[in-house]
């Protein structure tokens, strides 16, 4: 019962309001003009494209950094007391706004000393990606680490004993066993990157917008009477993107499970 009340008040009702405002005018009449306003503006398409680029690059970089780190953390030889795991997760205990402000000062200080300019003002998209990677890297490490703890070490040893070189062991044995963790890491990085506007605003000096920044503008800074209606449309677009991502994740996981079951059946 408490869970049902919570879901009704903080999930269902807010979603209903977003749907209502997305398809109504200021007077409360049914309309599709809000959607026309969003899709007819080329700037919105540019923001959506920029968001996908930033989210995609951030996800790839986080995965490339997190995978070897998670592998080392899951290896008892290098991480006997699990202390290293807590070292990587400790930054998550600090408010991400404080972390972002500190990172901005650090990055600008380094680039000013080495390159002679502040990267947040000169290359805002690069600065945003740095901020996103820094803030969401632990979210990529954790699912990969948990998945690697479940790996069957006997399969890895068997592959090596049967003549596979380290690269073949990695590609044909380790990666297939960690696909669920890879998918989870991608989703845990991609989805929050799509909606995070504080990091984008802070790291770009408010010069680069992503979908989250655009929604925040229409709901917070815009003085228009129809602002919340346009903001609701953008919110639904972002929800649909995230929903499609979740559907794709489930499809990939299901296919991977079926593949593993066929392999187990063969053995």
Q: At 190, which CATH number? A: 1.10.3720.10
- pLDDT tens for residues 31-73? 899 899 888 988 889 998 999 999 999 999 999 999 999 988 8
The pLDDT tens digits for 205-242 are 888 889 888 888 888 766 677 788 888 999 999 888 88
Length of the chain, in residues: 267
pLDDT at position 81 over 80: no
Mean pLDDT (the chain) is 86
Q: Which of 82-91, 92-101, 133-142 has the highest average model confidence (pLDDT)? A: 133-142
Res 267: pLDDT: 47
Query: In this structure, are residues 65 and 139 in contact, taking their beta carbons and an 8 Å threshold?
Result: no
Q: Between 33-40 and 227-266, two packed helices, what is the crossing angle to 10 degrees?
A: 80
Total count of domains within the chain: 1
Q: What is the value of pTM for the model shown?
A: 0.85
pLDDT band at 80 (very low <50, low <70, confident <90, very high): low
Residue 210 has, within 13 A of its CA and on its CB side, a CA count of 29
Domain range enclosing 12:
2-266
Work out the pLDDT band at 77, boundaries 50, 70, 90: confident
* Average pLDDT value for residue range 248-255: 81
Confidence at residue 133, expressed as pLDDT on a 0 to 100 scale: 94
Q: What percent of the chain is predicted at pLDDT more than 70? A: 94
The neighbour count for residue 208, using CB atoms within 10 Å, is 19
Rounded to an integer, the average pLDDT of 237-248 is: 86
Which position has the higher pLDDT, 257 or 168?
Answer: 168
């Amino acid at each position: 019962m408490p869970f049902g009340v919570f879901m009704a008040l903080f999930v269902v009702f807010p979603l209903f309001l977003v749907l209502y405002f997305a398809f109504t005018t200021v007077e409360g009449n049914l309309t599709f003009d809000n959607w026309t306003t969003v899709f007819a503006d080329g700037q919105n398409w540019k923001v959506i494209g920029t968001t996908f680029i930033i989210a995609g690059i951030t996800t790839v970089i986080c995965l490339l950094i997190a995978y070897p780190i998670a592998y080392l953390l899951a290896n008892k030889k290098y991480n006997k007391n699990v202390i290293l795991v807590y070292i990587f997760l400790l930054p998550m205990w600090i408010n991400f706004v404080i972390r972002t402000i500190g990172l901005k000062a650090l990055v600008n200080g380094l680039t000013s000393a080495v390159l002679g300019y502040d990267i947040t003002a000169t290359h805002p998209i690069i600065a945003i990606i740095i901020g996103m990677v820094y803030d969401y890297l632990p979210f990529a490490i954790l699912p990969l680490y948990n998945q690697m703890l479940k790996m069957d070490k006997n399969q890895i040893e068997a592959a090596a004993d049967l003549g596979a070189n380290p690269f073949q062991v990695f590609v044909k044995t380790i990666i297939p066993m960690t696909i669920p963790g890879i998918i989870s890491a991608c989703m845990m990085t991609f989805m929050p990157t799509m909606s995070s506007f504080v990091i984008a605003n802070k790291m770009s000096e408010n010069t680069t917008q992503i979908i989250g920044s655009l929604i925040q503008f229409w709901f917070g800074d815009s003085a228009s009477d129809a602002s919340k209606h346009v903001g609701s449309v953008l919110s639904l677009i972002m929800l649909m993107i995230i929903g499609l991502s979740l559907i794709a994740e489930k499809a990939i996981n299901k296919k991977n499970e079926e593949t593993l079951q066929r392999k187990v059946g063969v053995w």
